[in-house]
Structure 1
Amino acid sequence: MSAVRNESADRKRVMPWIIAVGLFMENLDATIINTAVPTMAASLQVEPLSLKAVLTSYTLSLAVFIPVSGWMADRFGTRRVFSNAIALFTLGSLLCGCAVNTPMLVASRIVQGMGGAMMMPVGRLALVRAFPRSEMIATMNFVVIPALIGPLVGPFAGGLIVHWLPWRVIFFVNIPIGLAGLWFARRYMADFRDPDARPLDSIGFVLFGAGIATLSYVLEVFGEHTWAPSSLLALTGLSLLLLATYGLHARKTGEPLLALSLFRTRTFSISVLGGFVTRLGVGGMPFLLPLLYQVGLGYPPWQAGLFTMPQAFAAIGMKIISRTILARLGHRAVLAANTVLLGGNIMAFALVGPATPVWCILSLAFMQGFFSSLQFTSMNSLTYADVADEDASKGSSIASTAQQLSLSFGIATASLVAGVFIGGVSAADRAPYVDGLHHAFLAIGAFTVLSSLAFRRLRPGDGINVSNYRPREPKKNRG
């Protein structure tokens, strides 16, 4: 019996590290490719804005396949699904490195996304089931802090790789990490499963996946002036019809793909829907910043990568103190104020130009990491505050899907806004190119500021079971 308890304790101790390795690999891949976009575009002989499909195809794949991850974890067990997710992500990385044109690269990124779709939510689900809610913020931070090493080294490593080596190497670095993660997952990952797992809502999966994929494609081609307005309008109508049909289907189905009934939980709906709007603005930054630094200002890739490193340092530091901040101020005060600060910081990048001192750029990057980290920690922890344990997998699927959809749409939105302001402007004309990007920063920053209105619906005591915040009682009048 003692040996069984020791094995269980070992799994609980090692499991967060395994999940951190998976998140590290995902975050490294996401950030290492951002710096390489201009170089990849030159190699593939396409415009940098045209490579947004390489970024959005991955996040779209996540959004389409994440909804089935909760069902797969309940049906086949967290250990098996998480291990297969790492294996599939590693295979996708190998295929990306071997791609010879943009369509092959996009297809390989979809394979990567299928692996990532199972990795992140299943890992989060395992943590929710293994640790009590009072330890949720500390446990999530423990997982996320090692994973943030990916964004810390990714942009600089990507810049060095494309400066000295072929850009394909940026995908091959995932292979040894994936193999190591696969070995540890099979050995130490906890195996949670539901013997009474619901049947897969295959009709819902087709309706939702087709609707989201169609809508994302519309955002992808919108603004490129290659489609007639009538065709775009028809595709948009089709996507909305498919999503509306899924909504009706979910209300009539006992076990839908995405349990929309969870949105009746007020804290869940505010954190998911408000977070979706916030991430639309934040999600476009990794796409716009390399264009500003490399194409607009002429910095080499390795130096552009260095400009983003303070963001990761700040994010790691914030993870350490975020629990204290939430315990002292509560979710409502933090989210309402921090969203405004985050949007204002995005807008401040419109001041970056050829004469901007490097220390100013680094300071803006540091504040971006600081505000973003606090925002995501607050939103993610609030998501599970009032969700029952038996609904954890359903909540994880919805929250993860919304996050990836917002990031995918954020990239598409940023590309669309940038295309409006720099459409027809040659990259050689740096002054108007930078000016167009400045307008894009102002637009998505203002949109982020407006999203703060959603969090004002929170009550002072919301989330106290995860933040340990205690609202101050009003002082009684004396005499």
Structure 2
Amino acid sequence: MEHLDSTVLNTAIPAMAESLRVQPLALRSVSMSYMLALAVFIPISGWMADRFGTRRVFMGAIAIFALGSLLCGISVGVPMMVCARLLQGIGGAMMTPVGRVALVRSFPRSELLRMTNYVIIPALIGPMVGPFIGGLIVHWLHWRVIFLINLPLALFGLWMVRRYMPNYFDEETPRLDHTGFVLFGAGIALLSYALQALGDHTLAAGRLSLVTAISLLLLAAYGWHSRRTHKPVLSLWLLQRRTVRASVIAGGVSRLGIGGMPFVLPLLYQIGLGYTPWQAGLLMIPNAGAAILMKAASTRLLARFGHRRILISNTVFVGIIIGLFALITPGISVWWIITLSFMQGFFISMQFTGINSLVYAEVEDRDAAKASSLASTAQQLTFSFGTAFAALLAGWFLAGRNQSDAAEFLNALHGVFITMGLVTIISSLCYLRLHPNDGNNISGRAGEAPRDY
């Protein structure tokens, strides 16, 4: 519900703008408000789970998200829509991190990889099928259905959580680090805004530089504060552990190329090849199907070859596949596009399985919520970096070209795909610091205990 909602909105913006009698660009704040709420509240999701319990927080998150969806569906203007999307973002910020905490604390590490696969599938499918579903809803129904359809899903989710989800909590949870929350929340919100503005080209260079500088100063202040606080809002000390560091930092670098694909592919299909929005969305469905198939294979592959070898080689494969999209031209067979989409989903699913499971390899149960918050915050931020990076590349390659000419637009996108592919391939070097047996307790692979070096 959350991952689908974050992408399905894009195809409905023209219809929403016409209905609300505003320009499409005026709805940019609707998308931005959701992303800002995610960025600010994901860091405290771990503290919330420890303080109030996983089941209570998860149910509250679903209820808040559903309330935001209802208000979006009945919005009569942009200000009301922005407030409603803020509510959705607050609820969405608590869902995935708290859900992961419940899984990590419910299963032994040897079964965590299989459980992680179930968490990854919605994250992969949502961004890919969202544009297609949104296009169908706008074409056949009303744009408000995009939000109202969340209500029955939320009711079913509340029933399932109440019936099956354990309520893990920490009786010794300290008070919230209010200073850290303000410093990090303000810094991450401003940085997310700067990345969004960078991709949309909506701020002058001087103002963009100022906003970015302020955000980095606030984040640096949080880093200084966290080293002097016993229980910081975001536990950066976990980065001292090699597997956490590899998952958060190396995984973030590799997401620069991967995170830009949902931004570039609609441009390729709709502007470069002339497909309608729902047709372009249909071409992304093989990606989701491949992600589901990889769910069964990833456990065996990681158990056979280990996290280090898989992440190095798979990152190279992902980069090659991203680069192969540069071969797509107007006369190419649609089956070639489908094959590439399938391969993309297959290997990216493997990538996320390895990264997301590795973060818990050296983390004890009492620190699971802290690790989940750290990993989710990094994931949210690096995907924003990926989108901004793709937008910058597109602007650079399109400079001086006639953007109304589909052939020139397509040639520019080819440069974007090649660059993103090369960056992804180079990012595979970041995983060399892993020990060959890191993550063995997650994958069930036999081998000697990893050593720090």
**Fold similarity call, TM over 0.5:** yes
AA aligned opposite 1:417: L
Give 5+ residue unaligned stretches, structure 1: 1-24, 474-479
Q: Does 1:163 align with 2:136?
A: no
Query: After the TM superposition, which residues 73-88 of structure 1 pair with which residues of structure 2 at under 5 Å, given as runs?
Result: 73-88=49-64
Query: After the TM superposition, which residues 209-228 of structure 1 pair with which residues of structure 2 at under 5 Å, given as runs?
Result: 209-222=185-198, 227-228=203-204
Pair 1:79–1:36, CA change in 2 (3 A): same
Query: After the TM superposition, which residues 317-396 of structure 1 pair with which residues of structure 2 at under 5 Å, given as runs?
Result: 317-396=293-372
CA distance in 1 between counterparts of 2:233 and 2:304 reads 37
Pair 1:102–1:423, CA change in 2 (3 A): farther
1:251 alignment counterpart: 227
1:242 shift after superposition: 0.5
CA distance in 2 between counterparts of 1:416 and 1:39 reads 27
1:270 shift after superposition: 0.9
Give 5+ residue unaligned stretches, structure 2: none
Pair 1:36–1:280, CA change in 2 (3 A): farther
Q: Does 1:176 align with 2:155?
A: no
Provide the identity percentage: 59
CA distance in 2 between counterparts of 1:459 and 1:130 reads 27
The answer to whether the 8 Å contact 1:283/1:411 transfers is: yes
Pair 1:127–1:84, CA change in 2 (3 A): same
1:60 shift after superposition: 3.7
1:194 alignment counterpart: 170
Equivalent residue for 1:297, pick from 261, 267, 273: 273
Q: Does 1:71 align with 2:56?
A: no
The answer to whether the 8 Å contact 1:308/1:365 transfers is: yes
Query: 3-state SS of the aligned residue for 1:456?
Result: helix
The answer to whether the 8 Å contact 2:318/2:424 transfers is: yes
CA distance in 1 between counterparts of 2:411 and 2:424 reads 20
The answer to whether the 8 Å contact 2:128/2:262 transfers is: no
Pair 1:227–1:181, CA change in 2 (3 A): closer
The answer to whether the 8 Å contact 2:199/2:389 transfers is: no
Q: If the length of structure 2 is used for normalisation, what is the TM-score?
A: 0.91
AA aligned opposite 1:323: T
1:115 alignment counterpart: 91
CA distance in 2 between counterparts of 1:409 and 1:66 reads 17
Count of residues in correspondence between the two structures: 447
Deviations 1:331-352 (A, max 9, x none): 0110001111112211222222
Pair 1:278–1:470, CA change in 2 (3 A): same
The answer to whether the 8 Å contact 2:53/2:169 transfers is: yes
Q: Does 1:269 align with 2:269?
A: no
The answer to whether the 8 Å contact 1:34/1:286 transfers is: no
1:266 shift after superposition: 0.8
Q: If the length of structure 1 is used for normalisation, what is the TM-score?
A: 0.86
Pair 1:157–1:229, CA change in 2 (3 A): closer
1:185 shift after superposition: 1.8
The answer to whether the 8 Å contact 2:120/2:353 transfers is: no
Query: After the TM superposition, which residues 17-166 of structure 1 pair with which residues of structure 2 at under 5 Å, given as runs?
Result: 25-36=1-12, 45-46=23-24, 55=31, 57-99=33-75, 105-145=81-121, 150=126, 153-166=129-142
The answer to whether the 8 Å contact 1:56/1:411 transfers is: no
Equivalent residue for 2:210, pick from 210, 231, 234: 234
CA distance in 2 between counterparts of 1:428 and 1:103 reads 33
1:274 shift after superposition: 0.8
1:286 alignment counterpart: 262
2:394 alignment counterpart: 418
Deviations 1:302-346 (A, max 9, x none): 211110110011000001110000001100110001111112211
Query: 3-state SS of the aligned residue for 1:252?
Result: coil
1:202 shift after superposition: 0.7
Deviations 1:360-380 (A, max 9, x none): 111111011001100000011
Pair 1:321–1:214, CA change in 2 (3 A): same
The answer to whether the 8 Å contact 1:89/1:114 transfers is: yes
The answer to whether the 8 Å contact 1:54/1:106 transfers is: yes
CA distance in 2 between counterparts of 1:211 and 1:57 reads 15
1:15 alignment counterpart: none
CA distance in 2 between counterparts of 1:235 and 1:135 reads 44
Query: 3-state SS of the aligned residue for 1:95?
Result: helix
AA aligned opposite 2:84: S
1:235 shift after superposition: 1.9
AA aligned opposite 2:206: S
Deviations 1:117-168 (A, max 9, x none): 1111111101111111111011222444577665675443222112223333
Moved more, 383-392 or 445-454: 445-454
1:471 shift after superposition: 4.5
The answer to whether the 8 Å contact 1:211/1:242 transfers is: yes
CA distance in 2 between counterparts of 1:202 and 1:352 reads 51
CA distance in 1 between counterparts of 2:165 and 2:208 reads 46
